[in-house]
A and B are shown apart, each in its own frame.
Chain A
Amino acid sequence: MRVMEQNIHESLPVIFSNLQKASEKQQNYDSAEHFGKLSEKYYQDAVSGDLRTIKDMIVTDISSMADIQSLAGENGDRGILRALRWGGKVAAIQKSLIDRYLSKGEALTEGKEIFLCEACGFIFLGNAVPGLCPVCKAPSSRFTKVGK
């Protein structure tokens, strides 16, 4: 029997939540429910978290994205190149929000809402939904408001 790659094993909840969304788009709702359950089944909470550690990991991710980019460029894999372009921009925004929170604290979000682009993960801090996602160009209907 083939042993499952570690990186696949660790990512099962993500693989399955993605397949859940794909099945919803195909209107295979039974299959979507099945993948949703698998995603939950393999999910294990982290015991704790720390903003600075997350930030360091984002920095590492951004540099590994550059390596994969050259490999994908050689192979002409435009899907990966597209994912890295969006993912790189979103990672930079994630990092900058953490930096700003670390310097400004609670004042950062005061009187502001946070909106999330469901297509690419872009986070927008402001008062109204953006008309168009600046990262992936999805329309405002793809944005959801985070929290209450």
Chain B
Amino acid sequence: MYASRNLSKCTKDCLCLFVCPTGATNTETGQIDSSRCLDGCRLCVDACPSKAIFLVMDEYPEPAPKDAASASKMMDLCSSRFAQEKAAAAIAASSDEPGLKKLTEALRQSLRITAEDCAREAGFMLPQSEPVRALMEELESS
């Protein structure tokens, strides 16, 4: 576990510089030096008046397994949304009308985000989870 700064929230008040025992918060990039951060210390997290610092985990708990029937239906929805994304991309690439180009480009991106949400809720949310490990193994063996 190590501390990380949300740079858009940091007001450079510098309280984190005073409390950090290793100087990890004092860097020229503005980001905290994770290699010097003490696992689980969190002094800077509590000291920051702007709530700009959070802890990044190294390990994540295994999510609850998804019901197979719902997961499969979410993947059907995912592939349908993705097919529409590709159709929108084809229109955006071939059209000369600026309005249609812009609209289909927006649809393309919007459809990808909604398709990703379906995949996420079908069980592919966390990179470190069992469904993702199983998928990677399947791909490697095929």
Binding site for B on A (CB under 8 A): 1-2, 4-8, 10-11, 13-15, 17-19, 21-23, 26-28, 31, 35, 44-51, 53-54, 57-58, 60-61, 64-65, 67-68, 71-72, 75, 77, 79-80, 82-83, 86-87, 90-91, 94, 97-98, 101, 105-110, 114, 116-123, 141, 146-147
Which 7 pairs of residues, A with B, have the shortest CB-CB distance? A49-B87, A121-B113, A46-B86, A49-B90, A7-B75, A18-B116, A109-B99
User: Total contacts A to B, CB within 8 angstroms?
Assistant: 201
List CB contacts (< 8 Å) of B60-102 with chain A: 66-67, 69-70, 72-84, 86-91, 94, 97-102
Whether A22 touches B73, Cβ cut-off 8 Å, given contacts A11-B82, A97-B103, is: no
The contact of A35 among B81, B107, B127, by CB within 8 Å, is B127
The contact of B105 among A48, A98, A118, A146, by CB within 8 Å, is A146
CB <8 Å contact, B86 and A11: no
- B109 close to chain A: CB less than 8 A: yes
**A-facing mask of B98-142, CB < 8 A → 1, else 0?**
111111111101111111111111001111000010010011011
CB <8 Å contact, A116 and B110: yes
- B56 close to chain A: CB less than 8 A: yes
CB <8 Å contact, B67 and A94: no
Residue of B nearest to A113 (CB): B102
- Residues of B with C-beta under 8 A to A82: 121
Residue of B nearest to A124 (CB): B106
Whether A75 touches B67, Cβ cut-off 8 Å, given contacts A10-B79, A11-B82, A46-B86, is: yes
Cα–Cα, bound, A144→B69 (Å): 35
CB <8 Å contact, A83 and B110: no
The number of chain B residues with a CB under 8 A from chain A is: 63
- Residues of A with C-beta under 8 A to B88: 49, 54
**A-facing mask of B1-15, CB < 8 A → 1, else 0?**
000100010000000
- Residues of A with C-beta under 8 A to B80: 57, 60-61, 64
Q: How far is the CB of A144 from chain B (nearest CB, A)?
A: 8
CB <8 Å contact, A14 and B116: yes
CB <8 Å contact, A18 and B103: no
- Residues of B with C-beta under 8 A to A57: 80, 83-84
The contact of A120 among B83, B113, B126, B135, by CB within 8 Å, is B113
- Residues of B with C-beta under 8 A to A23: 127
